[in-house]
Amino acid sequence: MKKNIVRNWGYIGPADEYGDLHITEGQCFAGFVAGILVPYDKTEKKIGNLANARTFSFPVRYAVVNSISDPNAVYQTVAAEIAEKARQLEAEGCRFITSAGGAFGKYQKIAAAAVDLPVYMTALLQLKWIKIGLKSSENILVLSDLSKEEAIKVFENCGISENIYGNCVFVQTDPLAMDPEEVLRYLKDEVIPQNAVKVVLLDTELFAGLRESVKSYLKLNVWDIKKLMGYVACAVCQRQRTGFI
């Protein structure tokens, strides 16, 4: 039986009284805004990386999904662990669920069905929104650690049709083997001029913490999962505005 989750909505200022607050039975933590599903890996997590909590201006909590890094794990095994970890983060008080992106996007529907929270598993979910704001002649450059074929599977799993992603420009990245500066030069000199690119959508750790540098170098708008998380955080944790009148 699913646990009855207790959520306290509202913002308590310095001069406010708490009053009566209740928490979910067995909940040992509180105050988290985002619950983030991440893979198991041993790479360095600099500020700007989704797996570094100092990247965010709001509290986050992590849950490691070991099976998504296992090349021998079948879809059902990964899906079951993702659903379990999403429910764990929900029970620990998180207000929305997201992930490190990449292959996690294939499990958007699984995670969303597992919890009673907003769930956004990939930066690629922003594609439809970005597309609406562009001219029909303008294109979106998608930089992803996934291949184009894998990214299309994510789009389909997220309900994004081919008429939305069909004219996107895909460039597959490898954070462990590529140099960010070389990739940026290649994009600026060859990819962007030939494809009428107007917006860059990042679904890669190659440019973790470098969104502003990418924007400045390419002179284009840049979207990523952290931008999406910021929007959702504002929606689920708004506070009263204070100031001079």
The tens digit of pLDDT for each residue in 198-245 reads: 999 999 888 877 888 899 999 999 999 998 999 999 888 876 666 777
Is the residue at 72 inside a domain?
A: no
The CATH number assigned to the domain holding 173 equals: 3.40.50.300
**19 within domain boundaries:** no
Q: Does any domain span residue 213?
A: yes
Per the structure, how many domains does the chain have?
1
| Cα distance between residue 178 and residue 200, in whole Å | 18
What confidence tens digit (pLDDT) does each residue in 37-67 have? 999 887 778 888 888 999 998 999 999 999 9
160 secondary structure, DSSP code: -
d(CA 201, CA 173): 13
pLDDT of residue 1: 46
Q: Is 206 left (phi over 0), alpha (psi -120 to 50) or beta?
A: alpha
Residue 87 lies in a domain: no
- Measured at the CA of 80, the angle between CA 162 and CA 50, to 5 degrees, comes to 65
The answer to the question of residue 172 being in a domain is yes
Give a yes or no: residue 34 inside a domain.
no
The boundaries of the domain holding residue 193 are 124-224
pLDDT single digits (tens) 109-162 = 999 999 999 999 999 999 989 999 999 899 999 999 999 899 988 988 888 899
Beta strands in 40-190 (DSSP E): 60-65, 96-99, 119-120, 139-144, 169-172
Whether pLDDT at 2 is above 60: no
Residue 67: inside a domain, yes or no?
no
Give mean pLDDT, residues 168-190: 92
Please list the residues that pair with 200 across neighbouring strands: 141, 222
Residue 164 lies in a domain: yes
